[in-house]
Structure 1
Amino acid sequence: MPTQLGSGGFLGTRLSEAREAMGLSVVNLANLLGVSRTLVHEYENGSRSPGVSTLARIFVVLDQPESFFYQEQRVQDFSHELVHFRARNSLKDDLREQAGIRLKWLAELYAVLEEKLALPSVNLPVLDVPADVSRITQQDIEDAATAVRTLWKVGQGPIPDLIRLIELNGGVVGQINLDLPDMDGLSFWSEERRRPYLLLNADKASYVRSRFDAGHELGHMLLHRHVNEGRTRKTPLYELMENQAHRFAGALLLPRETWLADVKAPTLAEFKRLKPKWKASIAAMVMRAEAVGLIGSEQKKDLFKQLRRKKWQQQEPFDSLWELEQPRLVTQATTMLFDSGFDSLSFSQWFPRRTEHTVELTRMPRAYFEIGTLPIKNIYSNFN
C-alpha cells in the first residue's frame, strides 16, 4: 500500500485505514464530515489535505489519535489484494477491509516490537511447490506438512499447541473478536519483512476448529505465498487454494502414517475416540480420511450426513471442554517493552491507535495504554 502524502504531512492512506477499520464507505465518511465524496477521495489519494476544521472532525468521527494520521507506514507492502481470507460465505468489501486493516495493524505493531526487542526469527521450510496453483498435488501438500514437522522437530505425533509453535518459529498470530461469524481467519505474507502474519477470529468457540484455522492460514503462507490473484473472491482459483490450505491443515495435524495407524475403522465413533488425542475435529478427520484414500467420496458424504443428524456441525463432542489456544508472543513482547522502561505515552508515540484497537491487538489490560496510568505489574512470563 503506497503512502499517499498530502500537504502538511497528512497521510491519505491512514485516513483510508481509519475509515475501513470502522466499516465506513467513502460516502458514509463524506456524510459524517459534511464534505463531498470527491473531497474524501482526494484526501485519501493525497492530492488534497483536509483543512483545520475538517481535520478536527476527522479526529472525532474516526476516533483515532491525531498522530495516527501523520505516522509513516511501517509495513509498506500490505494491500487487501495480498490477504488470504477464509470465509464460509462471500463477505462484503467493507467487512473484508475492516478485518484486513486489523491484520495490517498487527503487522505494524510487531514491526514496532521488532525495533526494540530480539524476537524469534522466521523458520519456515523452503518448498519446491509449483507456482501454478492448479499443478499443486496432494503429494506436494503432504510433503509440505512433513517438511514443517521435520524442521520444527515435533515428530509425527499430535501437536500440543499449534499457535505457540507457529509463534516460536517466527509467525505472528493475532486473535481478536471480528464480529464476523462467517470469517474464520486471514493471513498476509510480507515480502518486505519476510514474515507471515495470521489473524484468527476469536468468535470461534471450538478449540479444534481454531487450531485447524491456524494450520489453514499457515498452509496459505507456504503454498500460496507468491500467488497474487484469487485471494479475496469466491472464484475457482479461490476455491482451489482454500481446498489446498484445508488439506495442508489436515496433513499437518493428522500425519498420514501415525494417524492412520491409530484408526481402527473410518466411523464417527472411532473419530470421536481419537479426537482427544489428536485435537482435531471429527469433521477434519472425515476429510483427512478421504485425502489419504481411507474412504471414498460416497462414504465421506454418508459420514457427513451422519454428522448432521447428530447435530455436530456447530459443536462436536468435547468442544466445550477445551479453551482456545492463545497467541502469546505479541502480548509477552509488549509486556517486556513496558518492563524495559516504556510507558503509555512513549508507546502511543510509537504505535498511535485508538486504545480499544491497541488492547485487542496486544491482548493486554487497558491500564497499560491509558496516559497517566502507572503500568501494572507484569502478569505474563517472559517469552521463550
Structure 2
Amino acid sequence: MRVGISGFQPDRLTQIREARGLSKINLGRLVERSPSTITKWENGSHSPDAEILAVMGKVLNCPLPWFTKPVLKKENNPVFFRTMASTAKDLCNASERYMEWLQEASGFLQEYLDYPEVNIPHLKVDDYRAIDDGMIEVMASKCRDTWGLGIGPISDLLLLVENAGVICSRFEQGSAVMDGYSQWNESENRPYIILATDKDNYYRSRFDVAHELGHIVLHRYVKRLDSINFKPIEEQANKFAACLMLPEEAFSVELPPYPTLENFLSLKTRWGMSAQAMIHRANSLELISPLEYQRLYKGVSARGWRKGEPLDDLRRPESARLLPRCVNLLLDSNIFSKSSLLEGLSMARTDVEDIFSLPKGFLTDTAILDMESRIKLKNILGTHKDNSSPTKVVDIFSKKNIR
C-alpha cells in the first residue's frame, strides 16, 4: 500500500538520482534509509513523507516541486553516445537523464518562442549495415548543398547546426570519455545534441559536433544501439564528420604530395580540424600511402601530440547560442523573471544553467533587481535652472513589457 505525500512521481526520483550518479545504496546512506526503501519509492509502491522529501531535495540539489511534476513520455529513439564501456554505464544513465531534461526544458521554451525550422537531410534507413562509405560521402555533400556551404572550410559549425534547427547544449559532463551525445525527438521532429566542455578544445569540439550530426543524418531510424553495433555505428559517424569537414574536392588539392606533419599543422587553422583528423582523412582518401600514414602517426606519438597538438590553446570552442538567446529574450521581454523561469521549470538553478548553456550563476537573483524607482537625481541644478523644477526619478531598471 502506498503511503507518504500525494502526487509523488517515482520516475522523478529515479531521474535525479541517476543524473547525480548515485546508486540506491549511496542515496540510502545519504538520507538514512535502506536501499529497499529507495526501491519502493522508485517503483511507486510507497511514497516518502514530507520530512524525508525535504532531506532528499537538499541531498540531490533539486526543488521540492520537482518530485510532484508529471513525467513526460520518454522517446523510443536511442541516445547515441561516444562510449558504451561497462565502466561508463552510470555516466551513460546520467547522460540520458540530462538529454530528457534538455528536451523537457526546451519544450517549455517552445510554449513562448518559435525555434528555427528543422532543415536536416537524413537517410531513411533503419539498418546501419545498409549504410556504406559512398552513402556517407553523398549525405555529407547533401548537407553542404542544403546549407549552401560550397566545398570550403566551415567557419562556425555549431552556429550552422543550430540554424538548421538542432537544439544544442554545451556543459561539463564530469568525464573525459563522454565527448557528446545526440537523439532525435520524433514527437517534435527535431534533433538534440549535448556536448562536453571538459576538454575545452576547439578542434576536438568541432569534430564532436560533426560526429553527432553524423548520427542525426545517418541513424535517425536506427532503433537499437548495443555492444554489437556500437563500434560500426560510431565509425560511420566519424566517417561522416571527416567527409563534412574535409570535402575531398578541396582538401585533396590543398594537401601537397608526401605531406609532413608541418603541412598538416599549417592547414589546421584554415580547416578548423586537428592534424590527426586530417591525417586520417588523407589516409581514407588514399592521398597518402599506408607507409606514409604509419610514419606520420609515429611522428604524432613521438611529439606527444596524442595528448595535445600545437595551436590547440589559441582558440576557444564554439559556443551554443540558441538557448542562451532564447532565455535572454524571455527575460528582457518581461515574460519571465529569473526566479519565475526556475519556478516554471521546477528544476535546480545549476541544472537549468547547464542545460541552457548559461554562465554559472546567471540565474541567481541579486538585490540590485529590487532597486527599481529607488534611484533619484540630486537637485543640484537649482543654481542654473528654476528651483521649482521637480526632482526627476531615473528608472534605469525598467523593462519593456510585451505581454
Aligned length: 367
Indicate which of 125, 143, 151 corresponds to 2:138: 143
Q: Which residue of the partner structure matches residue 393 of structure 2?
A: none
The one-letter amino acid paired with 1:36 is S
The one-letter amino acid paired with 1:31 is R
Alpha-carbon distance in 1 for matches of 2:153, 2:212: 19
Residues 144/90 of structure 1: CA separation in 2 closer, same or farther (3 Å cut)? farther
Residues 278/219 of structure 1: CA separation in 2 closer, same or farther (3 Å cut)? same
1:273 maps onto 2:270 in alignment: no
The one-letter amino acid paired with 1:44 is E
Residues 93/323 of structure 1: CA separation in 2 closer, same or farther (3 Å cut)? same
Contact 1:344/1:370, CA 8 A, preserved across alignment: yes
The one-letter amino acid paired with 2:18 is E
1:362 maps onto 2:359 in alignment: no
Contact 2:10/2:43, CA 8 A, preserved across alignment: yes
Instruction: Return structure 1 stretches of 4+ with deviation > 6 angstroms.
Output: 375-378
Q: How does 1:109-188 map to 2 (within 5 A)?
A: 109-128=105-124, 130-188=125-183
Q: Is the partner of 1:158 in helix, strand or coil?
A: coil
The one-letter amino acid paired with 1:269 is E
Indicate which of 90, 95, 98 corresponds to 1:102: 98
Q: Is the partner of 2:194 in helix, strand or coil?
A: strand
Q: How does 1:186-335 map to 2 (within 5 A)?
A: 186-231=181-226, 235-265=227-257, 266-335=259-328
The one-letter amino acid paired with 2:174 is D
The alpha carbon displacement at 1:294 in A equals: 2.0
Q: How does 1:47-126 map to 2 (within 5 A)?
A: 47-74=45-72, 76-78=73-75, 82-87=78-83, 91-126=87-122
Q: Which residue of the partner structure matches residue 9 of structure 1?
A: 7
So what's the TM-score if we normalise by structure 1? 0.89
Q: Is the partner of 2:6 in helix, strand or coil?
A: helix
The one-letter amino acid paired with 2:153 is P
The one-letter amino acid paired with 1:279 is G
The alpha carbon displacement at 1:68 in A equals: 1.2
The one-letter amino acid paired with 2:232 is L
Deviation larger for 168-177 or 41-50: 41-50
The alpha carbon displacement at 1:86 in A equals: 0.9
Deviation larger for 10-19 or 267-276: 267-276
Alpha-carbon distance in 1 for matches of 2:256, 2:243: 19
Residues 200/121 of structure 1: CA separation in 2 closer, same or farther (3 Å cut)? same
Structure with bigger gyration radius = 2
Alpha-carbon distance in 1 for matches of 2:84, 2:15: 25
Q: How does 1:335-354 map to 2 (within 5 A)?
A: 335-341=328-334, 342-354=336-348
The alpha carbon displacement at 1:334 in A equals: 0.6
Q: Is the partner of 2:363 in helix, strand or coil?
A: helix
Contact 2:162/2:168, CA 8 A, preserved across alignment: yes
Contact 2:16/2:60, CA 8 A, preserved across alignment: yes
RMSD of aligned C-alpha atoms? Answer: 2.4
After superposition, what is the alpha-carbon deviation per residue over 1:163-199, rounded to whole angstroms, capped at 9, x for unaligned?
0000011111111111201221111111121111111
Q: Is the partner of 2:165 in helix, strand or coil?
A: coil
Q: Which residue of the partner structure matches residue 31 of structure 1?
A: 29
Q: Is the partner of 1:200 in helix, strand or coil?
A: strand
After superposition, what is the alpha-carbon deviation per residue over 1:203-232, rounded to whole angstroms, capped at 9, x for unaligned?
12321110000000110111112222235x
Alpha-carbon distance in 2 for matches of 1:169, 1:274: 27
The one-letter amino acid paired with 2:342 is S
The alpha carbon displacement at 1:307 in A equals: 0.8
Contact 1:344/1:375, CA 8 A, preserved across alignment: no
Deviation larger for 52-61 or 184-193: 52-61
- Structure having the higher helix fraction is 1
Contact 2:342/2:348, CA 8 A, preserved across alignment: no
Alpha-carbon distance in 1 for matches of 2:183, 2:87: 18
The alpha carbon displacement at 1:89 in A equals: 5.8
Alpha-carbon distance in 1 for matches of 2:342, 2:367: 12
The alpha carbon displacement at 1:254 in A equals: 0.4
The alpha carbon displacement at 1:298 in A equals: 4.4
Deviation larger for 342-351 or 204-213: 342-351
So what's the TM-score if we normalise by structure 2? 0.85
Contact 1:338/1:375, CA 8 A, preserved across alignment: no
Contact 1:367/1:375, CA 8 A, preserved across alignment: no
Deviation larger for 344-353 or 360-369: 360-369
Q: Is the partner of 2:183 in helix, strand or coil?
A: strand
Deviation larger for 211-220 or 300-309: 300-309
Residues 333/375 of structure 1: CA separation in 2 closer, same or farther (3 Å cut)? farther
Alpha-carbon distance in 2 for matches of 1:243, 1:214: 15
Structure 1: gaps of 5 or more residues: 1-5, 379-384
Contact 2:153/2:246, CA 8 A, preserved across alignment: yes
The one-letter amino acid paired with 2:148 is K
Alpha-carbon distance in 2 for matches of 1:171, 1:272: 31
Alpha-carbon distance in 1 for matches of 2:55, 2:355: 26
The alpha carbon displacement at 1:65 in A equals: 0.3
Alpha-carbon distance in 2 for matches of 1:195, 1:324: 24
